Structure 1
Amino acid sequence: MKEGFRQSMAWLHTWTGLVVGWVLFFVFVTGTAGYVDDEITRWMEPERPLQVRVEGVERGPMIERALARLEQVAGNAKSWTITLPHTSLRPRGEQGLAIDWEDLPERGHDYGRRGSETLDAHTGLPRQEVEPRETGGGAALYEMHYALHYLPYEVAIYIVGVCTMLMLLAILTGVVTHKKIFKDFFTFRPGKGQRSWLDAHNVISVMALPFFLMITYSGLVFFLFNYMPAGVAALYGPGKLQERVLFDELFSRDKREHLPASRPQVSLEELVRRAEAQWPGQGVASLTLSQVKGEPARIDVQRVTEGSVNVYDPVILSFAADGQPAVYPDETHGPGKVHRMLVGLHEGLFADWWLRWLYLVAGLLGCGMIGTGLVLWTVKRRNQHLKRNDGAALFDAYGLRLVEVLNAGTLVGLPIAVAAYFWANRLLPVGMADRAAWEMHCLFLTWGWLLLYAALRPLKKAWLEMAWMAVAAYALIPLINALTTDRHLGVTLVEGDWVLAGFDLSMFGLAVLFAYGALKIRRRWLKADAAAMQAGKEALA
């Protein structure tokens, strides 16, 4: 052990953070984008129409039109679902009347073919769907935060799992190391070099500490059975079939035989009103009709899930076909409920708009925590390196240079690469083969080029030049959007489509943040250079 327990924890905190810091920064950047992945996807599919506003349509006839359409296209379905006009459960930002169905499964299968349509609320006919361009959208960014891209899935999740475990260790050792953690939270001394970086790291880390603990622990729980398969193998035996039995028990999958769904005897509008009276201020999201063989038909009225942590088990009122309330026992086991809750907290799908903004800000703070920690390591080691003159100094110089290049190429280069992903969406030919794959190739090619750029340029010039590249990359996205599509701010602001307009405005906001950072860095380095020059003159005098 080092000099003492806290010193040992400080050493462990430093090296666990450094070894996996760049992977974790990648995970946090792409994972944070996942909180707005539906909005990103909608922007990356500009062929889709603007927001559809359902106004002046009576709900009762609208539901009847949806039922008539389901009878027409899904007469042999296991279940029918009617999603009422709102912004939950459907891709965020889209409004309208929608129907979904699942056909009866074929022999030997657990699930049947699924289908869905978006209907015109006035006529009940399917809305004319436009075929959008091929794109990975926000889902591709979200998937990268655990699948990493280009790597086999199993390998990727194990790499991310190891890095997540080390991050959890770094957070816990950081709490132990800073015995004055709350005092440090209110302490920031700008313009003090290493001291300023440490203060910034402390402030950001404490500001969202509960979020960091939750997101790392729940991330490990997400792939619980991949990381700890021995328990499943011991109880159920090895193999995919035994693992499937476990999931059936854990999540209470319904394998009972179903009859085709049919129009109920009771008015669905009446059930919606009764549900709204029980959920004041919440609203009804959807209605699902189904019937298990040997049991009466069932109607589930589901409320809007925003604000409910357990997104996989939302609040539902169940009725029989004649409209009488029905109570069905919840057969989900306790461990399954805990797992669902933790997964729901990690994904944040339950959050309404203000809580999703908190998730987004906390994710950006996570990027800041990792970035300031990596920079702090180089600032501290650079000062130590300048004082050394032994045989290990040359080796340390190469290691320091490697970390500095990775810092510049990742902390600034990766955000630029994400901007290149959005550029590629607008500039690649719409009919290009493997277009979605090439959007992602553009991201990684840009990132690789910027890592090489950081390696070939002097450190200070690389940081400043790349910071201004980031400013230009994000500030020009709305302009490129205006030049290549008709979904620009001049249209979206007028039409009140705040999903598309908010994306463009957010790009301007990110450009402002990078410009502020570039100006601060430039001012700080000019001041340091002037001080060094003055000190040299005084020494000569």
Structure 2
Amino acid sequence: MGWLHAWVGFIAGLLLFCVFVTGSLAVFDTELTRWLQPEIPPEAPAFSPQSLDHTLPVVHELLVQGEKPFITLPSQRDPFLRVQHHDGYEFLTIPYNPQTGELLQARDTAGGKFFYDLHYTLRTGIYGATLIAAAGLALLVTVGSGIIIHLRGLVSDLLLVRPFASRLRAWLDVHVLASVPFIPFVIMMAYTGTFIRARTLFPPVSYISSIHNIVSPHPTELVPPKKKREFPVSPSLPPLLQEAEKTLGKDQTSFILFLPQSLLFSRLDMSVPRLKGEHVDFSPVDGHFLRHVLLSTPVTQTQQLMEGIHYARWTGPGLRWLYFLSGIMGAVMFASGSIIFLMKRRKMSGLRVIFRVAEGLTIGFIPGFLLATLAFFWANRLLPVFLPERHLAEVHCFFTIWALCTVTGLIWSLLHHSRRGWRMQLSALAFLSICLTPLDFFTRPGASIFHAPTVFAATDLCALFFGLVTLEMVRRL
């Protein structure tokens, strides 16, 4: 069990560290999008259904471009009206005043959805989704073997904390404390996440054929370029919203999806854990009622429950923070486990090239990935506001910093100066984290010295706390 826990945990642990970090951030993807668009005021006026029609010109333009746009209605988490579409990687948003329908001038950004997409596909589509689904299975193996290892000394391990003991002993205590209390959450997220992506691992066709299709796609399977098409002008949306609410309930509409053959009014998925997927459809030509879709088979309900638990859209602020904290502790579990794995083998294998490569990758995937994440937030505020394809520039900054951190980590490790690589990247990480608050203050329109309890204050305080913790790690390295 010890061998299984160590090797499977390390091999999959670096990827799972990135998955847990991005998953934790994705819990607050909507709030992070608001931080990444500081021009939008914290407060919004009450929603007026008449404002929906003001978004139709942009919607029609996206339809002509071959997109599938949708309008998200104001909610408690995001009180603004938004037109969104998926560019193949992120959901790009265009904000509107929910009362007047006036277009709000805000910077183009990949937004918090960048972390959501990175969390489950690594921005590589089916390839990344398959890899992460396999890592989810490895996570279940790692957790199961870890439980068996610590089962006999579970209580004593939890009650014994030695922060000033030897480095190995202190890291073991961190690993246990970050793991055991949050094991139910880790198992729940690993199981539901693997269940949701089960088709990538267990396709309903020949497995060999499925792998062949992934590796060598047929020309007919390639996605054709989007062509401009002609679409009729959409009927007025307020009467359709009123008609949909007769079925879905008052204020229970989440978004309006525009498809070539229908206008889909979807039910709000924030009341119960199960994502019902209920929607009312209307004709895009004259607005007449088409159908009411409510999927209620046992298999579908099971899938909806798994998705609801994993995505946590139904949770309130308190439970959402618990999801966030549990995800961060899961990331700490994998980071500390990887460090312990290297520390235990440094004496016997420290001079081997494979060990140096492993430690270099660990430097790139732990502090390097976090450094790239902070660089994404810095790029959002420092890049010119009217830069063309600005959201792609943010993404390129993220991956460039991550690649540089990984390369420099490998170089320092291969030169037998891995501690210097750790220190440099952790120091840079502490600097970017602590200075995120001043950056927000000097680059956000209308910023005040006295923070209101908004997404700006929460993001800045979390970054400050993380920076102080990282600074302490640098001091004790």
* Distance in 2 between residues matched to 1:447 and 1:72, nearest whole Å: 39
Task: Tell me, yes or no, if the aligned pair for 1:409 and 1:450 is still in contact at 8 Å.
Answer: yes
**Residue 167 (structure 1) aligned with residue 139 (structure 2):** yes
Q: Counterpart amino acid of 2:360?
A: V
**Residue 471 (structure 1) aligned with residue 426 (structure 2):** no
Provide the TM-score with structure 1 as the length reference. Answer: 0.66
* Distance in 2 between residues matched to 1:501 and 1:205, nearest whole Å: 29
Aligned mate of 2:24, from 9, 28, 32: 32
Q: Counterpart amino acid of 1:51?
A: E
**Residue 129 (structure 1) aligned with residue 121 (structure 2):** no
The 3 A distance-change label for structure 1 pair 72 and 12 is closer
The 3 A distance-change label for structure 1 pair 68 and 181 is same
* Distance in 2 between residues matched to 1:48 and 1:147, nearest whole Å: 29
Residue in structure 2 matched with residue 188 of structure 1 by the alignment: 161
* Distance in 1 between residues matched to 2:127 and 2:279, nearest whole Å: 37
Task: Tell me, yes or no, if the aligned pair for 1:219 and 1:346 is still in contact at 8 Å.
Answer: yes
* Distance in 1 between residues matched to 2:368 and 2:255, nearest whole Å: 47
User: How many correspondences in the alignment?
Assistant: 418
The 3 A distance-change label for structure 1 pair 201 and 117 is closer
* Distance in 1 between residues matched to 2:254 and 2:402, nearest whole Å: 46
The 3 A distance-change label for structure 1 pair 314 and 353 is farther
* Distance in 2 between residues matched to 1:72 and 1:413, nearest whole Å: 43
* Distance in 2 between residues matched to 1:158 and 1:186, nearest whole Å: 39
Q: In structure 2, list runs of 5 or more residues that go unmatched.
A: 60-69, 84-92, 208-212, 214-234, 257-264, 281-291
Residue in structure 2 matched with residue 429 of structure 1 by the alignment: 384
How far 1:358 moved relative to its partner? 0.4
Task: Tell me, yes or no, if the aligned pair for 1:187 and 1:203 is still in contact at 8 Å.
Answer: no
Deviations 1:371-399 (A, max 9, x none): 1100111111124x1xxxxxxx68x6323
* Distance in 2 between residues matched to 1:32 and 1:21, nearest whole Å: 16
Task: Tell me, yes or no, if the aligned pair for 2:36 and 2:111 is still in contact at 8 Å.
Answer: yes
* Distance in 2 between residues matched to 1:343 and 1:34, nearest whole Å: 14
The 3 A distance-change label for structure 1 pair 357 and 287 is closer
* Distance in 1 between residues matched to 2:56 and 2:341, nearest whole Å: 65
Aligned mate of 2:335, from 371, 387, 410: 371
Deviations 1:477-499 (A, max 9, x none): 222233333153437x3xx4602
Residue in structure 1 matched with residue 320 of structure 2 by the alignment: 356
Residue in structure 2 matched with residue 481 of structure 1 by the alignment: 440
* Distance in 1 between residues matched to 2:108 and 2:57, nearest whole Å: 30
Residue in structure 1 matched with residue 362 of structure 2 by the alignment: 407
Aligned mate of 1:447, from 394, 402, 411: 402
SS of equivalent residue, structure 2 residue 27: helix
Q: Counterpart amino acid of 1:156?
A: G
How far 1:465 moved relative to its partner? 3.0
Task: Tell me, yes or no, if the aligned pair for 1:181 and 1:206 is still in contact at 8 Å.
Answer: no
How far 1:14 moved relative to its partner? 0.9
RMSD: 4.3
Q: Counterpart amino acid of 1:168?
A: L
Aligned mate of 1:179, from 151, 154, 167: 151
Task: Tell me, yes or no, if the aligned pair for 1:82 and 1:286 is still in contact at 8 Å.
Answer: no
How far 1:400 moved relative to its partner? 2.6
Aligned mate of 1:51, from 26, 29, 43: 43
* Distance in 1 between residues matched to 2:401 and 2:162, nearest whole Å: 35
Deviations 1:257-296 (A, max 9, x none): xxx89988xx99x989xx89xxxxxxx544999xxxxxxx
SS of equivalent residue, structure 2 residue 112: helix
How far 1:513 moved relative to its partner? 2.1
* Distance in 1 between residues matched to 2:33 and 2:203, nearest whole Å: 35
Deviations 1:344-369 (A, max 9, x none): 11111111100000010011001100
Q: Percent identity?
A: 25
